[in-house]
Amino acid sequence: MNKLYSSLLALTISTTLNAQEPLTAAQSDPKILGWMQGFPPAANRTVSLFDGSFFEFPAIRYSVCHMREFFPTKVVRSADQGNYSFKQKLDAKIGNITFIPLGKDEPVSIETSLAETYADGFIVLHKGKVVYERYFGELDPEGTHAVMSVSKTFTGTLGALLLAEGVLDENKLVKDYVPELANSAFGDATIRQVLDMTTSLDYSEDYADPKADVWVFSAAGNPVPLPADYKGPKNYYEFLQTVHKAGSHGQAFGYKTINTDAMGWIISKVTGKSIPDLLSERIWQPIGAHHDGYYQIDRSGIAFAGGGFNANLRDLAMFGEMIRNNGYFNKKQVLPKAVIDDIRKGGRQEDFAKAGYTNLKNWSYRNMWWVAHNEDGAFSARGVHGQAIYIDPAAEMVLVRLASHHTASNTANDPYSLPAYQAIADYLKKK
Amino acid sequence: MNKLYSSLLALTISTTLNAQEPLTAAQSDPKILGWMQGFPPAANRTVSLFDGSFFEFPAIRYSVCHMREFFPTKVVRSADQGNYSFKQKLDAKIGNITFIPLGKDEPVSIETSLAETYADGFIVLHKGKVVYERYFGELDPEGTHAVMSVSKTFTGTLGALLLAEGVLDENKLVKDYVPELANSAFGDATIRQVLDMTTSLDYSEDYADPKADVWVFSAAGNPVPLPADYKGPKNYYEFLQTVHKAGSHGQAFGYKTINTDAMGWIISKVTGKSIPDLLSERIWQPIGAHHDGYYQIDRSGIAFAGGGFNANLRDLAMFGEMIRNNGYFNKKQVLPKAVIDDIRKGGRQEDFAKAGYTNLKNWSYRNMWWVAHNEDGAFSARGVHGQAIYIDPAAEMVLVRLASHHTASNTANDPYSLPAYQAIADYLKKK
């Protein structure tokens, strides 16, 4: 592998492996640090895809709002007519609600939690009205932000929709829909196992290990010129065909992004549409989204279904509110209620428990949603660096946070997130 | 220069140098040829940026509607509120209007001219109403299309706007605004000379010559990994600083793209805004554009002001109608009338004549618009492969054509374009 190419390995899903004492949210504000400002930007303020700076903290705080400026992308068209507009009932007191972060003793405010989690955007809906909305750093109300693994939830929801419509059968095998995957680990997995990530894959997503499979996956999906001696997979689908089984499917939850990309392939095979086109047609246009979203794509034009979606904060909130309302939104039944029922039911908690998420006790994973199984019946879409759509049916609350935390794993921000969301829900329940 | 890198030289502004007998418009319809269709697309139907297929005919017929899927891009935000909607007064007879193509004897119809020019989209406004609107191949009413050098007209119009507002002075020198260009050919050119392309530059834009300067310019702007031994300019602005004079400025019209990129730099320096952001703020949002446009950008995030804009057909027609109405559109004065007066006045015809455009006798170039100086007072924005915005004030007509002709130079399509436009104008004058 030549030098040029190895330098590309730090791309796409990279993380902050060698963080020094990180700057605070205020200190790392991209507008203050001046990334890509000036004509031309100064060399030490230029964010580059090719020197690895692009996804390193603090430059990542700029990049997450500008992904299309680094990658080829495919549009998710918004609604041209019939855009939905939220009613507002703003309540500034929400910023002063306090909660005790996981593992701490002293209460902090929601306002503080936004800084602690490096929030770029935060919106709370109560009974469908905007009660709290904040923007920080590089994000503005008209902008888009990378949603990272919240992308999985869109792919999973489309999969669940196709199940509800009978286009897919959850008991059928992946190879029944995608013969190209017959000899891979996915071949004899059921659609249900892929959707709930209970496949057993010989695949490491440990970003700290430079030899982890995720880097080969990432390289396969990276639309850059290939060195002459490159022998690896040249797009996401070629990579998926190389994955081997590590044991038996259906035994445990194993959070691996490539399940979602396999699901994306299945969906495109049976619908004849790319994930961006299908998402636009079935969800983004019907909900009345205002802003085009987009996906990163590989050299074959295949969207990164497991992590490549970028969208506007309010549009994401519209999606969340549609889900909370059992699929009904913007004067139409966007998704059948059965889809949301199936998501809320959750997956098998015993499968989930084997994955050892200490902050997510009793949770499960269903249709690429994270289900809390708490008293409020909450469920969530989650992406690294702090992306979240959080739906609390008991509190009639939908909340979306977009963020650029210095640490990829949500383990780093959950202590300031999950109890904060519950505190807001408890406050709204009393209103 | 290594092999990987030299293969990149065929990018960005490439053209069809070795065309065999070209397919017809119907034969080369991208949907029929199946480019990028299927999951994954077949190898021989995959359009790639890196093997040169991307901009070769017939694949170019696909690519022009999907530029963001090959390049990093920067958005030109459309209006979120107050979108303009055209009234329609469709007249199918326009397709049957006949005209005699330049250099031919037999009349052909407008319908035929659309096929002859490989039109992807064609819209005609009369008195501000849509009277004719067609889509072919890969373009649909919601889509975007590369406008090629019509991009120059947007940069030039913004430049003229800043002159009218006194932000720029047409008699000042480029180096007064961009000190970095002081030692380049542009340094002692006036703003007026850059806007009208009467600079004298030692720069070849002959795509047929593999050693032409345009390939170095193109490589500088190409946001791909650079080989270790690369010593050239790394972005558009670095390239502009290397250009030498070939004689005295102000003597003759010389159509060279880099004038527009120099103008883009000047505009960004004095406004503190990128061309995409300024275009959005001053024109795209005020006219009520429905669809986000976008620019190709280089590794420093600099938009390709001379040729990188992509936009929706109707949105382009809104821009044209705003110009025809002396800057007033969508219930507001978007541009001062003085800007349009100055465009319509045109440049010096004797300067233009020296450039030897046989199809454009008596024309001139002003503020990066092509001015016909004909009885109707027509003027136009033009881009290779057949892109055009054509405004005929006497006929109260605005026309936009987006196309993917197999040959880059408009010399190839003008015989079926210019008399066609005049024939439609003459028809509309009698209505």
Closest-approach residue (CA) in chain A for B236 = A40
B304 touches chain A (CB under 8 A): no
Amino acid, single-letter form, for residue A240: L
pLDDT of the residue at B391: 98
Whether residue A325 is contained in a domain is answered as no
Kindly give the residue spans of alpha helices, DSSP state H, lying in B135-202. 150-164, 174-177, 191-195
**Which residues of B fall within a CB distance of 8 Å from A268?**
39
- What is the nearest CA distance from B302 to chain A, expressed in angstroms? 7
Per-residue pLDDT tens digits for A63-98: 999 999 999 999 999 998 889 999 999 999 999 999
pLDDT of the residue at B64: 98
Interface test with A, best of B39, B237, B312 (most A CBs within 10 A): B39
Mean of pLDDT values over B223-244: 93
The neighbour count for residue A41, using CB atoms within 10 Å, is 17
pLDDT of the residue at B6: 36
Q: What is the dihedral of CA B114, B117, B118, B123, to 10 degrees?
A: -50
A52 touches chain B (CB under 8 A): no
A292 touches chain B (CB under 8 A): yes
State the residue range of the domain holding A49. Answer: 3-66
DSSP symbols for B229-240: T--S--SHHHHH
Whether residue A34 is contained in a domain is answered as yes
Across-strand partners of B329?
B332
Distance CA A54, CA B301 (A): 13
- What is the nearest CA distance from A368 to chain B, expressed in angstroms? 22
Number of separate domains in chain A = 1
Kindly give the residue spans of alpha helices, DSSP state H, lying in B13-142. 30-33, 60-63, 110-116
The pLDDT of residue B177 is above 60: yes
Q: Is the dihedral of CA A319, A322, A327, A329 positive or negative?
A: negative
- From chain B residues 142-161, the ones with a CB under 8 A of any chain A CB are 142
Whether residue A416 is contained in a domain is answered as no
Whether residue A38 is contained in a domain is answered as yes
Query: In the sheet that A129-135 helps form, which strands lie side by side, from edge to edge?
Result: A129-135, A119-126, A397-403, A387-392, A379-383, A369-371, A364-366
B265 touches chain A (CB under 8 A): yes
Mean of pLDDT values over B259-287: 98
- What is the nearest CA distance from B243 to chain A, expressed in angstroms? 17
Question: Which residue of A48, A268, A301 is in closest CB contact with B69?
Answer: A301
Whether residue A24 is contained in a domain is answered as yes
Distance CA A416, CA A402 (A): 14
Mean of pLDDT values over B26-37: 96
Across-strand partners of A125?
A130, A398
Mean of pLDDT values over B164-179: 98
Closest-approach residue (CA) in chain B for A40 = B300
B369 touches chain A (CB under 8 A): no
pLDDT of the residue at A53: 82
Assigned token pair, A297: 């794509």
pLDDT of the residue at B20: 61
Higher-confidence residue of A145 and B3: namely A145
The pLDDT of residue B428 is above 90: yes
Distance CA B395, CA B372 (A): 14
CB B424 within 8 A of CB B91: no
Mean of pLDDT values over B165-177: 98
Which residue is associated with the tokens 């306090």? A98
Q: How many residues does chain A have?
A: 431
Whether residue A50 is contained in a domain is answered as yes
Residue-wise burial string across B201-220, b where 16 or more C-beta atoms lie within 10 A, e elsewhere: bebebebeeeebbbbbbbbb
- From chain B residues 167-196, the ones with a CB under 8 A of any chain A CB are none
Contact between chains at A40 and B297 (C-beta distance less than 8 A): no
Q: What is the dihedral of CA B23, B28, B32, B36, to 10 degrees?
A: 130
CA atoms within 13 A on the CB side of B21: 1
Closest-approach residue (CA) in chain B for A74 = B69
Q: How many CB pairs under 8 A join A and B?
A: 105
Whether residue A425 is contained in a domain is answered as no
3-state class (DSSP) for residue B7: helix
Whether residue B7 is contained in a domain is answered as yes
Question: Which residue of A40, A223, A302 is in closest CB contact with B40?
Answer: A302
The pLDDT of residue B338 is above 70: yes
pLDDT of the residue at A20: 60
The neighbour count for residue B230, using CB atoms within 10 Å, is 13
A87: left (phi over 0), alpha (psi -120 to 50) or beta: beta
Question: Which residue of B39, B225, B294 is in closest CB contact with A265?
Answer: B39
Q: What phi and psi values does residue B328 have, to the nearest 5 degrees?
A: -95, 125
Contact between chains at A69 and B290 (C-beta distance less than 8 A): no
- What proportion of chain B, given as a percentage, has pLDDT over 70? 95
Helices (H) and strands (E) in chain A, counts: 15, 15
Contact between chains at A74 and B80 (C-beta distance less than 8 A): no
Closest-approach residue (CA) in chain A for B178 = A39
Assigned token pair, A79: 């609604």
CB B318 within 8 A of CB B113: no
Q: What phi and psi values does residue A121 have, to the nearest 5 degrees?
A: -155, 145
Contact between chains at A80 and B46 (C-beta distance less than 8 A): no
In angstroms, the Cα distances linking B95 to A75, A289, B111, B116, B419 are 32, 36, 5, 13, 14
**Which residues of B fall within a CB distance of 8 Å from A70?**
72
Question: Which residue of A49, A73, A291 is in closest CB contact with B68?
Answer: A73
Per-residue pLDDT of chain A (431 residues; tens, 9 = 90+): 333 333 333 333 343 444 468 999 999 999 999 999 999 999 999 998 887 788 899 999 999 999 999 999 999 999 988 899 999 999 999 999 999 999 999 999 999 999 999 999 999 999 999 999 999 999 999 999 999 999 999 999 999 999 999 999 999 999 999 999 999 999 999 999 999 999 999 999 988 888 999 999 999 999 888 888 999 999 999 999 999 999 999 999 999 999 999 999 999 999 999 999 999 999 999 999 999 999 999 999 999 999 999 999 999 999 999 999 999 999 999 999 999 999 999 999 999 999 999 999 999 999 999 999 999 999 999 999 999 999 999 999 999 999 999 999 999 999 999 999 999 999 999 99
> Angle A118-A122-A127 (CA atoms, 0-180°, nearest 5)?
155
DSSP symbols for A326-363: TTEETTEE-S-HHHHHHHHH---HHHHHTT--TTSTT-
A34 touches chain B (CB under 8 A): no
DSSP structure class, residue A127: T
